Amino acid sequence: MKKTLALAIGIALGSMGVLGAQTAAAPAAPQFTHVEYYSAAQLQGIVDKTLADIKAKGLPGGGPDLSDDANSQLKISVRTASGGAEMHRHWSDVIIVTGGEVTLTAGGTIPDLDKPSSDEPRGTRIVGGTVYHLKTGDVVHIPINTPHQMTAVPGKIFSALVVKVKE
Protein backbone atom coordinates (compact mmCIF):
# COMPACT_ATOMS: atom_id res chain seq x y z
CA MET A 1 0.00 0.00 0.00
CA LYS A 2 2.85 2.43 0.80
CA LYS A 3 4.28 2.31 -2.73
CA THR A 4 0.83 2.54 -4.34
CA LEU A 5 -0.19 5.49 -2.16
CA ALA A 6 3.10 7.32 -2.73
CA LEU A 7 2.82 6.79 -6.50
CA ALA A 8 -0.83 7.90 -6.58
CA ILE A 9 -0.10 11.05 -4.56
CA GLY A 10 2.82 11.85 -6.87
CA ILE A 11 0.62 11.43 -9.94
CA ALA A 12 -2.14 13.58 -8.45
CA LEU A 13 0.18 16.36 -7.34
CA GLY A 14 2.06 16.23 -10.62
CA SER A 15 -1.18 16.59 -12.59
CA MET A 16 -2.03 19.65 -10.49
CA GLY A 17 1.28 21.32 -11.29
CA VAL A 18 2.59 21.08 -7.73
CA LEU A 19 5.48 18.89 -8.91
CA GLY A 20 7.34 19.60 -12.12
CA ALA A 21 8.09 22.66 -14.17
CA GLN A 22 5.62 25.23 -15.39
CA THR A 23 5.78 26.88 -18.78
CA ALA A 24 6.48 30.58 -19.17
CA ALA A 25 2.83 31.22 -20.13
CA ALA A 26 1.52 29.62 -16.91
CA PRO A 27 0.31 31.86 -14.09
CA ALA A 28 2.56 32.32 -11.09
CA ALA A 29 2.73 29.31 -8.80
CA PRO A 30 0.76 29.61 -5.56
CA GLN A 31 2.79 30.50 -2.52
CA PHE A 32 2.52 27.70 0.03
CA THR A 33 3.07 28.68 3.63
CA HIS A 34 4.13 25.21 4.75
CA VAL A 35 4.44 21.64 3.59
CA GLU A 36 2.03 19.08 5.00
CA TYR A 37 3.34 15.52 5.13
CA TYR A 38 1.40 12.36 5.99
CA SER A 39 3.13 8.99 6.05
CA ALA A 40 1.28 5.92 4.80
CA ALA A 41 1.04 4.75 8.43
CA GLN A 42 -0.52 8.06 9.50
CA LEU A 43 -3.04 7.94 6.66
CA GLN A 44 -3.97 4.36 7.55
CA GLY A 45 -4.44 5.43 11.18
CA ILE A 46 -6.78 8.23 10.04
CA VAL A 47 -8.72 5.75 7.86
CA ASP A 48 -9.01 3.30 10.78
CA LYS A 49 -10.24 6.02 13.18
CA THR A 50 -12.70 7.34 10.59
CA LEU A 51 -14.06 3.83 10.00
CA ALA A 52 -14.56 3.32 13.74
CA ASP A 53 -16.31 6.71 14.03
CA ILE A 54 -18.73 6.15 11.14
CA LYS A 55 -19.57 2.64 12.35
CA ALA A 56 -20.22 3.92 15.89
CA LYS A 57 -22.49 6.69 14.55
CA GLY A 58 -24.22 4.47 11.96
CA LEU A 59 -23.19 6.73 9.09
CA PRO A 60 -22.60 5.54 5.48
CA GLY A 61 -19.30 7.38 5.24
CA GLY A 62 -17.23 10.35 6.24
CA GLY A 63 -13.75 11.62 6.74
CA PRO A 64 -11.68 14.54 7.95
CA ASP A 65 -10.20 17.45 6.07
CA LEU A 66 -6.41 17.16 6.19
CA SER A 67 -5.76 20.50 4.50
CA ASP A 68 -7.94 23.33 3.28
CA ASP A 69 -6.93 26.58 1.60
CA ALA A 70 -8.47 28.92 -0.94
CA ASN A 71 -7.56 26.81 -3.98
CA SER A 72 -7.22 23.21 -2.82
CA GLN A 73 -8.38 20.76 -0.19
CA LEU A 74 -7.03 17.39 0.91
CA LYS A 75 -9.49 14.98 2.49
CA ILE A 76 -9.79 11.37 3.60
CA SER A 77 -12.98 9.61 2.51
CA VAL A 78 -14.18 6.30 3.96
CA ARG A 79 -17.42 4.60 2.86
CA THR A 80 -19.22 1.53 4.12
CA ALA A 81 -22.46 2.24 2.23
CA SER A 82 -23.62 4.01 -0.91
CA GLY A 83 -23.89 7.78 -1.09
CA GLY A 84 -26.15 10.13 -2.97
CA ALA A 85 -25.44 11.81 -6.28
CA GLU A 86 -23.68 15.19 -6.27
CA MET A 87 -21.71 17.64 -8.36
CA HIS A 88 -19.50 20.61 -7.58
CA ARG A 89 -19.83 23.97 -9.33
CA HIS A 90 -16.33 25.22 -8.46
CA TRP A 91 -14.21 22.22 -7.40
CA SER A 92 -12.85 19.30 -9.37
CA ASP A 93 -12.00 16.07 -7.50
CA VAL A 94 -8.95 13.86 -7.85
CA ILE A 95 -9.72 10.59 -6.06
CA ILE A 96 -6.85 8.28 -5.16
CA VAL A 97 -8.20 4.94 -3.95
CA THR A 98 -6.22 3.77 -0.91
CA GLY A 99 -8.28 0.73 0.02
CA GLY A 100 -11.24 -1.45 -0.90
CA GLU A 101 -13.56 -1.07 -3.85
CA VAL A 102 -16.47 1.12 -4.92
CA THR A 103 -18.56 1.65 -8.03
CA LEU A 104 -18.43 5.21 -9.34
CA THR A 105 -21.06 6.54 -11.72
CA ALA A 106 -20.00 9.80 -13.36
CA GLY A 107 -21.55 12.01 -16.00
CA GLY A 108 -25.17 11.90 -17.05
CA THR A 109 -27.73 13.90 -15.09
CA ILE A 110 -29.15 14.08 -11.58
CA PRO A 111 -32.92 14.23 -12.21
CA ASP A 112 -33.90 15.13 -8.63
CA LEU A 113 -31.48 17.93 -7.70
CA ASP A 114 -32.34 19.27 -4.25
CA LYS A 115 -30.88 22.77 -4.74
CA PRO A 116 -30.05 23.23 -8.43
CA SER A 117 -28.52 26.70 -7.97
CA SER A 118 -26.30 25.78 -5.00
CA ASP A 119 -22.53 25.27 -5.24
CA GLU A 120 -22.98 21.54 -4.54
CA PRO A 121 -26.38 20.29 -5.69
CA ARG A 122 -27.31 16.76 -4.64
CA GLY A 123 -29.84 14.11 -5.52
CA THR A 124 -30.55 10.43 -5.05
CA ARG A 125 -29.35 9.02 -8.39
CA ILE A 126 -27.68 9.57 -11.76
CA VAL A 127 -29.28 8.81 -15.10
CA GLY A 128 -27.10 8.07 -18.12
CA GLY A 129 -23.67 8.19 -16.49
CA THR A 130 -20.61 6.00 -17.11
CA VAL A 131 -19.90 3.30 -14.54
CA TYR A 132 -16.35 2.68 -13.25
CA HIS A 133 -15.28 -0.03 -10.80
CA LEU A 134 -12.58 1.54 -8.62
CA LYS A 135 -10.11 -0.44 -6.52
CA THR A 136 -6.94 0.20 -4.53
CA GLY A 137 -4.39 2.17 -6.54
CA ASP A 138 -6.87 3.62 -9.06
CA VAL A 139 -6.98 7.38 -9.66
CA VAL A 140 -9.89 9.29 -11.15
CA HIS A 141 -10.34 12.98 -11.98
CA ILE A 142 -13.88 14.37 -11.84
CA PRO A 143 -14.13 17.82 -13.49
CA ILE A 144 -16.40 20.59 -12.19
CA ASN A 145 -20.12 20.28 -12.96
CA THR A 146 -19.82 16.50 -13.44
CA PRO A 147 -22.47 14.48 -11.60
CA HIS A 148 -20.94 11.61 -9.63
CA GLN A 149 -22.08 8.97 -7.16
CA MET A 150 -20.32 6.26 -5.16
CA THR A 151 -22.13 2.94 -4.80
CA ALA A 152 -20.81 0.53 -2.21
CA VAL A 153 -19.62 -2.94 -3.22
CA PRO A 154 -21.19 -5.40 -0.74
CA GLY A 155 -18.70 -6.52 1.90
CA LYS A 156 -16.08 -3.91 0.89
CA ILE A 157 -14.96 -0.82 2.76
CA PHE A 158 -13.77 1.98 0.48
CA SER A 159 -11.13 4.55 1.42
CA ALA A 160 -9.56 7.30 -0.65
CA LEU A 161 -7.43 10.38 -0.52
CA VAL A 162 -9.42 13.16 -2.22
CA VAL A 163 -7.70 16.22 -3.62
CA LYS A 164 -10.16 19.01 -4.42
CA VAL A 165 -8.93 21.73 -6.77
CA LYS A 166 -10.77 25.04 -7.21
CA GLU A 167 -11.47 25.80 -10.86
Its domain, for residue 160, covers 2-17+37-115+122-166
Please tell me the total count of domains within the chain: 1
Q: Is residue 25 part of a domain?
A: no
Q: Which DSSP state fits 127?
A: B
Residue 27 has pLDDT above 90, yes or no: no
Domain annotation covers residue 24: no
- The CATH number of whichever domain residue 111 belongs to comes to 2.60.120.10
Crossing angle for the helix pair 40-57 and 2-15, nearest 10 degrees?
90
- Average pLDDT of the chain, as a whole number: 86
d(CA 101, CA 103): 7
Write the single-letter amino acid at 94: V
Per the domain annotation, does 32 fall within a domain? no
Question: Cα separation of 108 and 99, whole Å?
Answer: 26
pLDDT at 4 over 70: no
Angstrom distances, CA of residue 50 to CA of 30, 43, 61, 79, 98 = 31, 10, 8, 9, 14
DSSP 3-state of 152:
strand
87/148 Cα distance (integer angstroms): 6
- Indicate whether 23 belongs to any domain: no
Quote the pTM value: 0.78
How many helices (H) does the chain have, and how many strands (E)? 2, 11
Higher pLDDT, residue 31 or 94: 94
